[in-house]
Amino acid sequence: MSNNLRNIKKFQQKHVNAEDAIKKYIKPGDRIFIDSGCSEPIDLTSKLIELSPHLTDVEMIHFISLSDLDYYKSAGGKEDLFRHNVFFISENLRDAVKSGFADYTPMLLSDIPKFFEKGQMHLKTALIQVSPPDEFGFCSYGINVDIAKPIAESAEYVLAEVNPKMPRTLGDSFIHMDDIDAYILSDHDIIEFTYDPPDETVTKIGKYVASLIEDESTIQMGIGKIPNAVLVELEEKKDLGVHSEVFSDGIVDLVEKGVITCKKKTIHKGKIICSFVMGSRRLYNFVDNNPFVEFHPSNYCNDPFIISKNKKQVAINAAITIDLTGQINADSLGHSFYSGIGGQVDFVRGANHSKDGKPITVLPSTATLKDGTVVSRIVPYLQPGSGVVITRGDIHYVVTEWGIAYLFGKSIRERVLQMINVAHPDFREELLEYAKKINYVYSDQKLPLSINGRLSLYPDKYETTYQMKTGYTIKIRPIKATDERLLQGLYYSLDKDDRYLRFFSHDRNFPHKFIQPLVNIDYQTDMILVGESLEEGELKIVASAAIFKT
């Protein structure tokens, strides 16, 4: 570290104090960029607050902002002071955006850099935080490259906060001192970010998601406690890779346990690829000068074409609500903007085009409002004003604490039944009645009920996977209400002799009214087990066995 500080002496003519830097390079009415996430240049932004009476109508561009400095609070009432404009709404600016005192610009993370590179939004000054320069004069953007690097390259002026506590990260993560107009020296601690510990609901979701992740997959996790909790459930996996816009401490655990090796990746083999990290000092020490981790700007890291080059790319992202047809709202509560698009669309589409890739959307089945009311997050339709971040055409897997729904290529009727099957049991009948009312499903569609009329829950404890000596894999499980078409397919595939032995008739049809009672069982007095398998890429039921209590 001392060598780095000696290296900076070569550029002593650019060293200024924070006040002089702000006064020289930021004027009233300017548009500036603030390095975001855990890389916010605190000493520079603190001086901005102090000098705020002289900096009216300054527009501040951020991605994710985490600090609790007063200039976020001022956004709640002083329209002529700082005007914040964010690409992702974090908690400290949520009320300001809702009240109209701050702006939200919805954009795909992969598109933001070229927006500035093309000059569609002129930027006067970029405020960044970097590591000290090496012997060649290169500073690292450290833990936050994402949009910071390309935006700084598009700005007229660059002010840098040089901090020895900022990790020197590798990849496309450097800026030369010649490209920095002025710098201040700082030694404050880097902002740390912690996730809430997983509760029972989150843990269940994590287990279901883990069941979808195969060995040698490359994973991406969005921001949130559910994607983070998934990592805890991956300890038995082998040779996982990482290509993700962001990651946290959970990745370090899996690297140390030998789960994440990146050896089987098809692009950037042997490397974790990311654009920023958010976590503890332990995480920052892990990425410091570590050739196993490469940081890249978001126009590369989040490029769906680049993402799709990874075989078995798994994208795990959270939703706020999802409607019965598969429209995903991930950025708003009705007309109130809550978060942002971020990299979710980029990675969903990248995983979709990846060979054997899996886009997975996660959410708890319910939410509790401020007044204590519990509401379903699987909804008949999106609340007016809610944004569709992921369309019906892009959705694949949906995971709640009640199971897994697979919607890609499914009809509206099939999607509705899949979504009801992963909704909270308290809301399933209500959702079904709505679907009947607008003819999404059969008018006589039923849910599995017990003999006392209560909703029967799917017993996933009876699921097992069996691999035959030939290598043929079959999953044995209880039948589901969503299996109607698959069971029909099995019955119609039987030849005449098999059909006669099973149904005592050569000429037998299997319409909805015949099949529905077989897929809606109570799992107590009656049980049907099926064997499902992928045949030429199509999921089929290839066997069934039934026990009925007479």
Identify the residue whose tokens are 């109130």: 336
Helices (H), 309-405: 344-353
C-alpha span between 320 and 383 (Å, rounded): 11
Helix (H) or strand (E) holding 228, with range, is helix 225-230
State the CB neighbour count (10 A cutoff) for residue 31.
18
* pLDDT of the residue at 176: 97
Model confidence at 497: pLDDT above 80? yes
- Which residues face 102 on adjacent strands? 84
**Active-site residues: which are they?**
245
Work out the average pLDDT over 11-15: 92
How does residue 4 score in pLDDT terms, banded at 50, 70 and 90? low
How does residue 80 score in pLDDT terms, banded at 50, 70 and 90? low
| Whole-number Cα distances in Å, 141 to 8, 129, 172, 238 | 15, 7, 9, 32
Within the chain, which residue ranges are assigned CATH 3.40.1080.10?
Answer: 2-185
C-alpha span between 317 and 391 (Å, rounded): 14
CB of 287 within 8 A of CB of 277? yes
* Backbone phi, psi, residue 353, to 5°: -90, 0
Model confidence at 154: pLDDT above 90? yes
Of 464, 435, 461, 463, nearest in space to 447 by CA: 435
* pLDDT of the residue at 205: 97
How does residue 88 score in pLDDT terms, banded at 50, 70 and 90? very high
The token duo for 540 is 């089929």
Least confident of 306-310, 311-315, 398-402, 451-455: 451-455
Give the 3-state DSSP-derived string for 431-468, with helices as H, strands as E and coil as C: HHHHHHHCCCCCCCCCCCECCCCCECCCCHHHCEEEEC
Tell the CATH topology of 2-185: Glutaconate Coenzyme A-transferase (3.40.1080)
Percentage of the chain lying above the pLDDT 90 cut: 78
Q: Mind listing the pLDDT tens digit for each residue in 101-119? A: 899 999 999 999 999 999 8
* pLDDT of the residue at 388: 96
* pLDDT of the residue at 1: 39
Work out the average pLDDT over 399-410: 96
- Which residues face 398 on adjacent strands? 361, 405
C-alpha span between 504 and 144 (Å, rounded): 69
How does residue 74 score in pLDDT terms, banded at 50, 70 and 90? low
- Of residues 449 and 213, more confidently modeled: 213
CB of 36 within 8 A of CB of 61? no
The token duo for 398 is 């949906």
Work out the average pLDDT over 434-453: 90
C-alpha span between 496 and 511 (Å, rounded): 18
* pLDDT of the residue at 2: 40
Instruction: State the CATH class of domain 460-548.
Output: alpha beta
How does residue 538 score in pLDDT terms, banded at 50, 70 and 90? confident
Question: Which sign does the torsion angle of CA 146, 150, 156, 158 carry?
Answer: positive
Work out the average pLDDT over 159-188: 97
* pLDDT of the residue at 198: 87
Within the chain, which residue ranges are assigned CATH 3.40.630.30?
Answer: 460-548
Model confidence at 453: pLDDT above 90? no
Model confidence at 79: pLDDT above 70? no
Work out the average pLDDT over 418-423: 96
* Backbone phi, psi, residue 81, to 5°: -95, -115
Helix (H, G, I), strand (E, B) or coil at 150: helix
Within the chain, which residue ranges are assigned CATH 3.40.1080.20?
Answer: 200-437
The token duo for 525 is 């007095």
Percentage of the chain lying above the pLDDT 70 cut: 97
Q: What are the residues whose beta carbons fall under 8 Å from the beta carbon of 10, sequence distance 6 or more?
A: 133, 137, 177
Sheet with strand 170-171: strands edge to edge: 170-171, 293-295, 272-274
| Bridging pattern class, strands 374-376 and 378-379 | unpaired
Q: Which CATH superfamily is domain 200-437 in?
A: Acetyl-CoA hydrolase/transferase C-terminal domain (3.40.1080.20)
Model confidence at 172: pLDDT above 80? yes
Q: Mind listing the pLDDT tens digit for each residue in 222-280? A: 777 887 889 999 999 999 999 999 999 999 999 999 999 999 999 999 999 999 999 99
* pLDDT of the residue at 528: 95
Helix (H) or strand (E) holding 196, with range, is none
Q: What is the mean pLDDT of the chain?
A: 92
Model confidence at 454: pLDDT above 90? no
* pLDDT of the residue at 430: 97
pTM here is 0.93
Work out the average pLDDT over 145-160: 97
How does residue 512 score in pLDDT terms, banded at 50, 70 and 90? very high
Q: Report residue 54 CA to chain centroid gap.
A: 40
Q: Mind listing the pLDDT tens digit for each residue in 346-366? A: 999 999 999 999 999 999 999
C-alpha span between 159 and 175 (Å, rounded): 12
- Which residues face 478 on adjacent strands? 529
Q: Mind listing the pLDDT tens digit for each residue in 304-347? A: 999 999 999 999 999 999 999 999 999 999 999 999 999 999 99
